[in-house]
Amino acid sequence: MDVYTIGLAGGMLLIILGIYGLTVKGNMIRLILSVEILTNGAIVVLVTFGATPLGVINPVIISLAILAVGVGGCIAAVGLAIVIQAFRHYKTLNVRELKRLRW
Amino acid sequence: MLPYAPFLVWVIPLVASALMPLAALNSRTRDIFPVLVGFTTAVFAFSMVPDVAAGPPYPNPQLTWLVIPGLITVNIGVIVDPLSVFMACVVAGIGSLILLYSIGYMAGEEGMTRYWFFMLLFIGSMVGLVVADNFLWLYIFWEMVGLCSYALIGFWYKRPEARKAGFKAFIVTRIGDVFLLTGIILVYLTTGSFAFKDLQGALEAFKVLPYTLSVVPFLMLIGAIGKSAQLPLHVWLPDAMEGPTPVSALIHAATMVKAGVYLMARTHFIYMEAAPEAWLTTLVWVGAVTALLTATMGLTSVDIKRVLAYSTISQIGYMMMGLGLGAGAGFIFLSQFHLMSHAIFKALLFLAAGILVHSFHGMRDMRKMGGLWRDAPVSFYAMVIGVLALGGVPPFNGFWSKDLIFAAAMETGNYAALAFAVVTAAITLAYGLRLIYLTYLGEKRSDEVRKAVIHEPAVMTIPLFILSALCFITGFTAEGFASFLGILGGHSHVVLHIEPLSAALSIIAIIAGALPIYLVYGRKSPPPERFAIGGWGFLQRMLSEGYYFDRFYYAVFVDGLKSAVQGFRKSHPGILNFNMSLILGGFIVLTLLLLTLGGGW
Amino acid sequence: MFTLVVDVLIFFAIAVAVVGALTRYRANLNTAFGLASTIGFGLALYFWWNLYLEVQRAGGVLVLKALPVLASSSLRIDMLGMFFSLLFLLVGFTSSFHSMRYMEHDSGHAQYYALLLSMVAGMVGVVYAGDFFTLFFFWELMAITSYVLVAFRKHLWEPVEAGFKYLVMSAAGSALILLAIALLYGITGTTDLAGIASAIKAGTINAELKTWLYFAIAVIVTGFGIKASIVPLHTWLPDAHPAAPTPISAMLSGVVIKTGVYAIIRMLGLVIYPAALDWNMVAVVVAFFAALTMTVGNVMALLQEDVKRLLACSSIAHIGYIMLGVSIGLLGGTIGLYGYTAGLLHTMNHAIMKGLAFLAVGAFIHAAGTRKLSELVGIGHRMRAMAVIFVIAILALSGVPPMNGFVSELMLVLATLNAGMGIMVAVLLANILIGFGYYLRLLYIMVWQSPRSELETIRGTSWLMLIPCGILASLCILIGVYPEPFLDFASQAAQAVANLPAYTAIA
């Protein structure tokens, strides 16, 4: 197996894991984690593609990956802040209780 | 014609309406300015008559409005031909008289700037509608007159009934409008142009008519049905009587509701090419059924303006029928002649009724009136002339124009339609006379009416005199009218003198209509109360409910729709995991669709 | 740095934030911050005009970043970008103006205006970006600020719940966008938009590549479609848009969802378009989703009891109309040009009229303190001037001539007919009819009916709210009566969509 296959398989695995978490898990923290896993899966795919076709690592792709990691951090921060507020209002972390808004 | 008259005739009132806030700085100019504008518009409209009387070619000036190079070009074009000039004259002429009457009727009302603004906007848009030479501008003006109509029905917006009525008119006519727009779009699709004359050219060029064009007549007919309040979209017009009486007279009797008839007349060339038999039959029967059913509704209504509204619907049904019969017989001006008669006598009736309604501060219940002929002589005589003209009594104009429709029915051999027409004519005279008996004769039936002081100021009576005189005169102009509309050219066999048989039918209808009313309301044997019980009572309730159209629509389109939407609501539980599953599902469906259809596997 | 338009927005955002921090967020400086932010938007509009002249003259503007490592990171500004950025700035300007009065009872003004300015900066950056790195950066700037703005009133349960749902769904969308970038990079070896398009054009498409490209299209449409709220990716929108403060709702419904539309147009119409795929099929698939979107949006809006939620649902429907135009655009040629023009004109009109509708409703909500239709009965009688504006907005939304909505809906119908999609015309017209039902219901309840006694104390509307609404309302009528110049602008933007040689030539 070459790097290409391993990278792609790993990335896709992470993406599937993320999607699984988002559609099944009810805990809000786990949902934030799932989003992060999903993003990281995409980053892995990106880095894999960035590494192989040219034989050398493309600086643009690496900076894009670093940017994406940073963005993931921001999303997690904002998300957790909202989770704290939600916990104050709903006294639960179960997202299935957050269903006052329908339609 | 005056310079640039085909454009100025609708631009002047539109610009004037925009200037109303300025004119309203002084309360005298506020009321005088719109009337002056109205008469100026009328002068411009009538100044075009000599040009078209001379015959073709008719002027057709253009301005560019909307262009994407190579893709689409839409012009603002106007057409100056007998039909458009005739309609413009009716609108501007009757419009200016009614504006004059409004000074008296609306004196001291709040929101007069708004009133004048919408009246002028209406006159401008209505004239624009009839002079436009393409479907797109016809549609734009069509919507604009609609907007003015809703706004003016709801003029007294503090009254809940007025608001509801304006709203109902908005919804019901809009249903027709969507069909009209669909028809227009299909025309554009087939011919690549909105202009009437391009469509006519294309129709002549087609060897085999495209399938799309054959549905156009029916789509446009639904549009006309909505605007002209024909069955089954008639429910808005009786409620529209909540508006001020001059508005009812101008918009909901004399002009806007005729837009459907105008549209049918303007575009009859499509129908004659695309679907002659089916279209003519549909038109005749929509008109005939509407005319009869709504006339019977008019027999039981106790609201003076609602009687006139039902009568308007019924008479427009007559015009539709006349159009269908006349187009079959080769002379479509029949409906236009009745349109002119009706515009005159119905405006007269509304304005005469308006004097009473104005004096009673909006009270319109005929059960409370009675014996008013001494107090309001001008209104009484105007009403009598109007009812006789409406009922087709010679020598008033209604007799002549109705007679032509009878003659056309005989000419085409459509005796079923003829029967509908004759029965309707009898009922028409009957409800007209009933209205006079209930309001002007007998004795006053309530304190409200006894105490009221009835004013008949000159600004309100002058239009009545003019319209009464026109009721006499225009009946005798059929010959000149026909040659003006220029449609008689190739059909010299059509008779314009009175045929003995159709005249006899008219006389029978007059007697059959007048006699029962005289017995019931004049001799009181049997008395009117007799008809409120038993089988007659059932009939009376059904008629007063307007054959339950309103209730049916409400049950299906409001309650039915509500429960359907409530059912759909269950598909959105508002749970985040479910939302994410939807995204995943959407993504999978999209991928599968693309890969399968694109052969990407 | 990123052209003056973006720079001035970022500068004002930072300035407002710094001043807010210096005053320790204590003083109620809403008017001062609002004024600063509005001036910022005004300046940005002025710079936009200069840039427009430049783009008009040279056919486009290219701005390269200074850092040598990131040399390919760039802004590539063409007419399409100019078209969208004008809408963003216009609605941003009016929302910011409106906020000066609307936000007076809230706290955290410095954060609010800084976030608003950053969000618009992000949106403008997205439409100017000529490179995936830049695009992703600005995309996330817009997205993260909008999460915070939705959940801005954190002391209430609704914005928090809506904000969380929005954040999770939208972040999943961002991950998909990243995946799409990775795929396109894997196929072509570059992140430059023009470079990807040129590489796709130069290369031959074998069966395997075709599969990857279709997969990339699916990822792109889903990823950006979450932001554009294409059904079934729409479930966040009716929660998030009403929960935000109303000027932000105007931004979100009026323009933020349009960035998703922009990205889809740019990706499918320019970047992947040179590939020899079955574009007619793609167009039909997109049209299918467009039909689904407009129908579901309209049906959802029918019985809403919350005025902002109703308007938000109608935004979904309008996205459906716009996506229909885009799908026709994908057919290419003159037919496609027509479709893009119609879609873009409707984008412009919807931004103006939906922004206006939200701002007008915002004035009502500000006065009455409620969003429930049953409690806003007859509010128009108490605020006459605003009621007139609201009526204009609603008539425009329902497509009544002579308002702007009619012109673009007519164009859409004509474009659809021109493309031979007869069924879609029927769907479109049926939807316009349904839409009419709930717009009228809104008018009937809020303007027609007699006012409730609870609303007796309300008198008139603040000029600070009337001026921005008046600007948009006059645009509604102007575009309706004299659409020529606006149509011309939209058609210039449409011509830029699929014009790869011109896009590549921008220097």
**pLDDT tens readout for residues C427-447:** 888 888 888 878 888 887 888
Residue C124 scores a pLDDT above 60: yes
pLDDT single digits (tens) C467-505: 999 999 999 999 988 888 898 899 889 988 888 888 888
**DSSP string of B336-401, one letter each residue:** HHHHHHHHHHHHHHHHHHHHHHHHTTT--BGGG----TTT-HHHHHHHHHHHHHHTT-TTSHHHHH
Report the C-alpha gap between B83 and B335 in whole angstroms. 11
The predicted pLDDT at position B493 comes to 46
- What Rg, from alpha-carbon coordinates, does chain A have? 17
3-state secondary structure of B134: strand
Q: Which residues of B562-581 are buried (b: 16+ CB within 10 A; e: fewer)?
A: eeeeeeeeeebebbbbebbb
pLDDT tier for residue B184 given thresholds of 50, 70 and 90: confident
What single-letter DSSP state applies at residue B80?
A: -
The predicted pLDDT at position C154 comes to 86
Q: Which chain C residues are within 8 Å of A15, Cβ to Cβ?
A: 175, 179
pLDDT tier for residue B372 given thresholds of 50, 70 and 90: confident
Question: What are the residues facing B502 on neighbouring strands?
Answer: none
Mean pLDDT for C383-388 is: 87
Report the C-alpha gap between B345 and B383 in whole angstroms. 9
Across the interface, of C285, C337, C406, the residue whose CB is closest to B593 is: C285
The proportion of chain C whose per-residue pLDDT surpasses 70, expressed as a percent, equals 97
Report the C-alpha gap between C213 and B600 in whole angstroms. 9
Task: Please give the C-alpha separations between residue C502 and each of B71, B272, C329, C499, in angstroms, as whole numbers.
Answer: 21, 51, 18, 6
Residue A49 scores a pLDDT above 50: yes
Report the C-alpha gap between B276 and B282 in whole angstroms. 10
**DSSP string of C395-421, one letter each residue:** HHHTT-TTSHHHHHHHHHHHHHHHTT-
Mean pLDDT for B51-66 is: 73
Amino acid (1-letter code) at residue C138: F
Backbone angles phi, psi at B401, to 5 degrees: -75, -35
pLDDT single digits (tens) B490-525: 444 455 556 777 788 888 888 888 888 777 777 777
Mean pLDDT for A70-83 is: 92
Return the partners of chain C (3 or more C-beta pairs < 8 Å). A, B
The answer to whether residue B160 neighbours chain A at the CB level (below 8 Å) is no
Residue B67 scores a pLDDT above 70: no
ipTM exceeding 0.90, yes/no: yes
Nearest CA distance, A103 vs chain B (angstrom):
5
Nearest CA distance, A29 vs chain C (angstrom):
11
The predicted pLDDT at position B274 comes to 67
The predicted pLDDT at position B207 comes to 62
Pair B334, B408: CB distance under 8 Å: yes
Residue A72's closest CA among A14, A27, A25, A26? Answer: A14
Mean pLDDT for B129-137 is: 86
pLDDT tier for residue B79 given thresholds of 50, 70 and 90: confident
Pair C300, C316: CB distance under 8 Å: yes
Tell me how far the alpha carbon of residue C432 is from its chain's centroid.
Answer: 20
Question: What are the residues facing B64 on neighbouring strands?
Answer: B75
* C395–B587 C-beta distance less than 8 A: no
Report the C-alpha gap between B449 and B368 in whole angstroms. 7
The domain locations on chain B are 5-525, 551-598
Report the C-alpha gap between C4 and C12 in whole angstroms. 12
Cβ-proximal residues to C156 (8 Å cutoff; 6+ apart), any chain: none
pLDDT tier for residue C86 given thresholds of 50, 70 and 90: very high
Q: Which chain A residues are within 8 Å of C172, Cβ to Cβ?
A: 18, 22, 35, 38
Report the C-alpha gap between B47 and B2 in whole angstroms. 6
Domains and CATH numbers, chain A: 3-97 (1.10.287.3510)
Pair B159, B207: CB distance under 8 Å: no
Mean pLDDT for A33-49 is: 90
Report the C-alpha gap between B485 and B492 in whole angstroms. 14
Mean pLDDT of chain B: 81
The predicted pLDDT at position C39 comes to 93
Chain B nearest-CA residue for A23: B577
Q: List the structure tokens of B39.
A: 């008469």
pLDDT single digits (tens) B515-564: 887 777 777 777 777 777 777 777 777 777 777 777 777 777 777 777 87
* C169–B175 C-beta distance less than 8 A: no
pLDDT single digits (tens) C127-136: 998 888 889 9
Return the partners of chain A (3 or more C-beta pairs < 8 Å). B, C
- Chain A residues with CB-CB distance to B under 8 A? 19, 22-26, 31, 95-96, 98-103
Cβ-proximal residues to B90 (8 Å cutoff; 6+ apart), any chain: B254, B255, B258, B339, B340, B343
* C440–B171 C-beta distance less than 8 A: yes
3-state secondary structure of A27: strand
Nearest CA distance, A7 vs chain B (angstrom):
22
Report the C-alpha gap between B601 and B405 in whole angstroms. 70
- Characterise B442 by phi-psi region: left (phi > 0), alpha (psi -120 to 50), beta (else): left
Specify burial of residue B444 (Cβ count, 10 A radius: 0-12, 13-18, 19+): middle
Mean pLDDT for B449-472 is: 83
Question: What are the residues facing B76 on neighbouring strands?
Answer: B63
Number of helices (H) and strands (E) in chain B: give both, helices first. 27, 2
Task: Please give the C-alpha separations between residue B122 and each of B118, B222, B495, in angstroms, as whole numbers.
Answer: 6, 22, 37
For chain C, positions 388-447, list CB contacts with chain A under 8 A: none
pLDDT tier for residue B393 given thresholds of 50, 70 and 90: confident
Backbone angles phi, psi at C331, to 5 degrees: -70, -20
The predicted pLDDT at position B491 comes to 47
The answer to whether residue C132 neighbours chain A at the CB level (below 8 Å) is yes
The predicted pLDDT at position A35 comes to 92
**DSSP string of C49-86, one letter each residue:** HHHHHHHHHHS-EEEE-S-STTTT-EEEE-HHHHHHHH
The number of beta carbons lying within 10 Å of the beta carbon of residue C157 is 18
Cα distance between the two ends of chain B: 73
Cα distance between the two ends of chain C: 16
The residue among B259 and C25 whose pLDDT is bigger is B259
Report the C-alpha gap between B391 and B407 in whole angstroms. 17
Mean pLDDT for B243-265 is: 84
Task: Please give the C-alpha separations between residue B494 and each of B150, B331, C266, in angstroms, as whole numbers.
Answer: 41, 8, 66
Q: List the structure tokens of B499.
A: 């045929």
Pair B540, B300: CB distance under 8 Å: yes
What single-letter DSSP state applies at residue C372?
A: B
The residue among C49 and B207 whose pLDDT is bigger is C49
The predicted pLDDT at position C335 comes to 87
Q: Which chain A residues are within 8 Å of B584, Cβ to Cβ?
A: 19, 23
Question: What are the residues facing C192 on neighbouring strands?
Answer: C131
Residue A54 scores a pLDDT above 60: no
Pair A72, A36: CB distance under 8 Å: yes
Q: Which chain A residues are within 8 Å of C304, Cβ to Cβ?
A: 103
Mutation site for A-interface testing, chosen from C138, C178, C190 by largest number of A Cβ within 10 Å:
C178
For chain A, positions 16-55, list CB contacts with chain C under 8 A: 18, 22, 28, 31-32, 35, 38-39, 41-43, 45-46, 48-50, 53-54
Cα torsion at C56, C62, C63, C66 (round to 10°)? -160
User: How many inter-chain contacts (A to C, CB under 8 Å) are there?
Assistant: 128
The predicted pLDDT at position A1 comes to 63
Q: Which residues of B325-348 are buried (b: 16+ CB within 10 A; e: fewer)?
A: bbbbbebbbbbbbbbbbbbbbbbb
The predicted pLDDT at position B66 comes to 67
Task: Please give the C-alpha separations between residue B86 and each of B45, B127, B177, B240, B327, in angstroms, as whole numbers.
Answer: 9, 10, 24, 26, 18
Task: Please give the C-alpha separations between residue C371 and each of B351, B448, C363, C377, C422, in angstroms, as whole numbers.
Answer: 45, 44, 11, 11, 39
Helix (H) or strand (E) holding B62: strand B62-68
Residue C279 scores a pLDDT above 80: yes
The number of beta carbons lying within 10 Å of the beta carbon of residue B155 is 20
pLDDT single digits (tens) B212-235: 777 788 888 888 888 888 888 888
Amino acid (1-letter code) at residue C485: P
What single-letter DSSP state applies at residue C129?
A: B
Report the C-alpha gap between A32 and B593 in whole angstroms. 30
The predicted pLDDT at position C475 comes to 92
Q: Which chain A residues are within 8 Å of C313, Cβ to Cβ?
A: 103
Residue C365 scores a pLDDT above 50: yes
The predicted pLDDT at position B437 comes to 84
Question: What are the residues facing B132 on neighbouring strands?
Answer: B78
Cβ-proximal residues to C325 (8 Å cutoff; 6+ apart), any chain: C339, C340, C341, C342, C343, C344, C346, C412, C415
* B590–C222 C-beta distance less than 8 A: yes
Report the C-alpha gap between C89 and C408 in whole angstroms. 21
Pair C401, C273: CB distance under 8 Å: no
* C191–A82 C-beta distance less than 8 A: no
The predicted pLDDT at position C289 comes to 93
Helix (H) or strand (E) holding C247: helix C246-251
Nearest CA distance, C177 vs chain A (angstrom):
9
Report the C-alpha gap between B155 and B247 in whole angstroms. 10
Residue C338's closest CA among B191, B72, B64? Answer: B72
What single-letter DSSP state applies at residue C233?
A: S
Q: Which chain C residues are within 8 Å of A61, Cβ to Cβ?
A: 185, 191
Report the C-alpha gap between B47 and C133 in whole angstroms. 69
The predicted pLDDT at position C449 comes to 74
Report the C-alpha gap between C56 and C79 in whole angstroms. 8
Tell me how far the alpha carbon of residue B145 is from its chain's centroid.
Answer: 11
Strands (E), C156-315: none
Highest mean pLDDT among B44-58, B90-104, C61-75 belongs to: B90-104
